[in-house]
Amino acid sequence: MRYLIALLLSLGLAAAAHAEKLRELANVAGVRPNQLVGYGLVVGLDGSGDQTTQTPFTVQSIVNMLNNVGIQIPNAGNMQLKNVAAVTVTATLPPFARPGQLIDVTVSSIGNAKSLRGGLLIMAPLKGADGQVYAMAQGNLVVAGAGAAAGGSSTQVNQLATGRVPNGATVERAVPNGMNNSEFVQLELMQTDFTTASRVVNAINGAFGPVAAALDGRVVQVRAPQDPNLRVTFLSKLENIDVTPAAVGPKVIINARTGSIVMNQAVELDQCAISHGNLTITINANNQVSQPNPVSGGKTTAVQNADIQIAADKGPVARLPKSSSLRDVVRALNAVGATPQDLLAILQAMKAAGALKAELEII
C-alpha cells in the first residue's frame, strides 16, 4: 500500500506569482483584538456541579457572593453544593469596541463539575492584561455536548465542561486607540519579507503618490489624512490595492507525532539513491510457575520469560530522479514505499545529503 504525503498548497504561493489585496498581506498597527479573562460561578446545574469537599474555592466564592447581597453564612464549611461550578470566563474584545457592544464569551469549568449543561453564568467581570475591567458577562450557557448515565453505565458526546454564552458580555470600557493621533499609519506585514515590503511601498506610491516608506522588512509607514473620516476612506482604498508578494521558498513541515508531512509546491529533489528496509521486533511472553519441593520451605513464584526476535528486511536501493514539480516529488517519495513515519527519517537524510531543496520544520 502506498502512503500519500499530505499537501497543503496554502503554505506557499503558486509557482506563478499573482497579485493579492493588501489587506491579505498586512494589518494596520494598533487595529487588533484584545483577550479578556475572568472568574465566575455557574448555577442551576442538575446535580452535576463541583464536589465542594474537593473544591473549597467554590464554597468560598458562594460565601463571597452571598455576603455581597447581604446574606451571612455562619458555618460555610458544611455547605454541600451540587448545582454550582467554578469557571473561567474568556472573551475576545474586537478592535474599536465601544461600551454597550455585546460579545460572545466562553465558559470552562476549573473544578470537578461533570457538566455545565443547563447552567446560568452569574455576572462576572472580564479583565484585560492591564487588570482593568472591560466587560461584564452573564447569561445562559449553550453546551454542545450531551451525556447520559444509568445503572452504572454512561455515555458522552463532545465536551460537557465547556460552554458558550452568545452575546453574553457587555463592553463597559473602550480600549484606547492611537490610530488617529499620528500623521502616519503603519502597516505590519504578516510575514517578514524585504521584497514584499518593497513591492507594497511601490504599489502604494503608485496609487497615492510618495506617501509610503518601508521602515524594515515588516513595517511600512504611510502618511494618511488627519481627519478621521478621510482617514477611514483612505484606508479603505489602501487595503484594496493589488500587490504581488515575493515567491515563497520551498518548505516541508513534519509533524513527528502523527507522521503528517506537509510541503508547498516549490520543493525540489535532486537525483539520489535511497536504501530503505523494515525492522521487525517480535516479543513472545512465556510465563511459568516455579514450584518448590514440598519440604524445601520455598514459596511458589511466577517466572516471566520473554522470547525476543529481531528481523531486518533487506531494502533494495531505489533511484530517485530529479524532480522539479510537486507532482514529481510526491511520485518519487511514494516510490520508496515507506510509511509516513519512515519518511521523516528519509527526508532528514536527504536534506543532510543536499538532495532535498527545501527548509525542514519539525513540529
SS3 185: strand
Cell of 226: 488627519
Tell me: the pLDDT tens digits for 223-272? 999 898 999 999 999 999 999 988 877 888 877 677 677 877 778 777 77
Model confidence at 170: pLDDT above 80: yes
What pLDDT, on a 0 to 100 scale, did the predictor assign at position 1?
Answer: 34
pTM of the model: 0.67
- Give mean pLDDT, residues 282-309: 68
pLDDT digits (tens, 9 = 90+) for 9-65: 333 434 445 788 999 999 998 888 999 999 999 999 988 888 877 788 888 888 888
Residue 142 in grid coordinates: 449553550
Sign, CA torsion 62/52/117/161: positive
Asked whether 312 and 279 are in contact (CB, 8 A), the reply is yes
Query: What average pLDDT does the segment 129-137 reach?
Result: 95
SS3 90: strand
Q: Specify the pLDDT at position 233.
A: 93
The maximal CA–CA distance of the chain, rounded, in angstroms, is 106
> Do 14 and 270 contact (CB within 8 A), yes or no?
no
Q: Which of 14-23, 110-119, 151-160 has the lowest mean pLDDT?
A: 151-160
CA atoms of 158 and 161, how far apart (whole Å): 9
pLDDT of the residue at 251: 81
**Residue 207 — φ and ψ, nearest 5°?**
-95, -35
Give all domains of the chain, ordered by start, each with its CATH number.
Answer: 18-31+179-243 (3.30.1360), 34-171 (no CATH), 251-362 (no CATH)
- In terms of DSSP H, where are the helices of 159-302? 194-208, 228-238
Q: Which among 125, 23, 119 has a CA at the least distance from the CA of 65?
A: 125
Q: Which of 120-129, 138-147, 302-311 has the lowest mean pLDDT?
A: 302-311
**Identity of the residue numbered 225:** P
Beta bridge partners of 289: 302
Cα–Cα dist 312/300, whole Å: 39
